[in-house]
Amino acid sequence: MNFKATVITNVEVSPGYFRLRLTAPQFFVTAASPGQFVMVRVSASIDPLLRRPFGIFDVGVMATEYPDVQQPFLDILYKVVGKGTAMLAGFHHGDQMEVLGPLGKGFGTGEPSEGKVLVGGGVGLAPLYYLARELVKESRVHLFAGGRGRDDVLCITEFERLGVETYVSTDDGTLGERGLVTEVLERYLANGTGAKTIYACGPFPMLKAVAEIAGRTGIPCQVSLEAYMACGVGACLGCVVKGRDHSEATPDYRCVCKDGPVFDHTELSWEQRL
Ligand SMILES: Cc1cc2nc3c(=O)[nH]c(=O)nc-3n(C[C@H](O)[C@H](O)[C@H](O)COP(=O)(O)OP(=O)(O)OC[C@H]3O[C@@H](n4cnc5c(N)ncnc54)[C@H](O)[C@@H]3O)c2cc1C
Ligand code: FES
């Protein structure tokens, strides 16, 4: 579904990272599920032409200045990396933009359990917040959050407010433990903590390391991928990645926008660069 959204707030939550709250129709809030994404038109002109994909950070309804009126909303957490996201950072309260979504296949929440483990790298934490909010209703949730430095580890307090147990690491040691988030995860799993499912989102090398750990430990694992997207709905094949059975003779491609962005880690070939 395509709709016109109005900016409620667009706040820099950490240097170079913004949290954008948009009005959304009630049917969007009802239809959305964790791990799905939206395609946002960041400019009314033809430059940039293509919409930009962003995971759904949160959805809900909020109070307004009128006692009996509630406003459905959609939150996006984004990092400024280029032209489109720089334009997005310039949006203010009351500005409008076109949004297409919710799109794609999100996370499967599975059976309630004590061992739901989330792993997020940098802005890869974005789709994990909405997932955590759903999972904590019935499960105990642990979050492993990593980033280059303290400015890249986002919204940890929000996860903690949900009751999520958090473990933080940074490459430069400016927040939490110094080192890779996957090293902290491995140590945690080695303690026999009874993890039942791993959910991961972040840079491809991090996802590959998480998939290796899941393969070794036999813990089911879902990963959320990023790829360049033009249409977001399975029409242009611009976002394909190699599936696990891919070879020159028998190509096996998956569309990140339609078959994903969330995949079981066993569905994919990890011998590719994204
Ligand atoms: C399903 C999905 C969900 C996403 N969710 C989020 C999110 O929640 N928050 C967020 O900040 N970003 C998210 N992204 C990435 C986001 O779409 C890109 O950062 C954005 O499109 C960049 O637009 P730009 O015009 O600013 O950058 P451009 O000027 O187009 O490119 C700037 C730099 O970013 C890199 N880049 C651009 N697009 C992508 C992409 N799709 N994947 C990997 N690298 C890219 C380019 O290689 C280049 O180095 C998501 C991507 C996908 C596919
Ligand atoms: S972005 Fe067009 S097919 Fe996925």
Decide if pLDDT at 109 tops 90.
no
Per-residue model confidence (pLDDT) at position 110: 81
Decide if pLDDT at 108 tops 80.
yes
Decide if pLDDT at 241 tops 90.
yes
| pLDDT band at residue 48 under the 50/70/90 scheme | confident
| pLDDT band at residue 9 under the 50/70/90 scheme | very high
Q: Which atom of ligand 1 is nearest to the CA of 80?
A: 26
Q: Which amino acid is at 47?
A: D
Per-residue model confidence (pLDDT) at position 45: 75
Decide if pLDDT at 196 tops 90.
no
The closest alpha carbon to 101, from 6, 27, 9, belongs to 27
Per-residue model confidence (pLDDT) at position 248: 85
| pLDDT band at residue 112 under the 50/70/90 scheme | confident
Q: What percent of the chain has pLDDT over 70?
A: 100
Q: Which atom of ligand 1 is nearest to the CA of 53?
A: 17
Burial (Cβ within 10 Å: 0-12, 13-18, ≥19) of residue 9: middle
Ligand 1 in contact with 13 (CB < 6 A)? no
Mean per-residue pLDDT of the chain:
94
Tokens of 173: 């040691």
| pLDDT band at residue 100 under the 50/70/90 scheme | very high
Domains and CATH numbers, the chain: 2-103 (2.40.30.10), 107-224 (3.40.50.80), 228-262 (2.10.240)
Calpha distance 69→16 (Å, rounded): 33
CA of 218 to the centre of ligand 2 (A): 31
Q: Which atom of ligand 1 is nearest to the CA of 239?
A: 53
In this prediction, residues 75-88 reach a mean pLDDT of 96
**3-class secondary-structure state, position 141:** strand
Cα-based distances in Å from 242 to 67, 248, 255: 52, 11, 9
Q: Which of 37, 51, 239, 259 to mutate to test the pocket of ligand 2 (most atoms within 8 A of CB)?
A: 239
Decide if pLDDT at 122 tops 90.
yes
- The binding site for FAD consists of 84-85
In this prediction, residues 81-109 reach a mean pLDDT of 95
Per-residue model confidence (pLDDT) at position 271: 86
Calpha distance 90→62 (Å, rounded): 24
Strand runs labelled E in the chain: 2-14, 17-23, 37-41, 52-55, 58-63, 70-79, 96-103, 116-121, 141-147, 165-170, 177-178, 197-201, 221-224, 240-242, 253-255, 262-264
Per-residue model confidence (pLDDT) at position 212: 96
Per-residue model confidence (pLDDT) at position 220: 95
| pLDDT band at residue 237 under the 50/70/90 scheme | very high
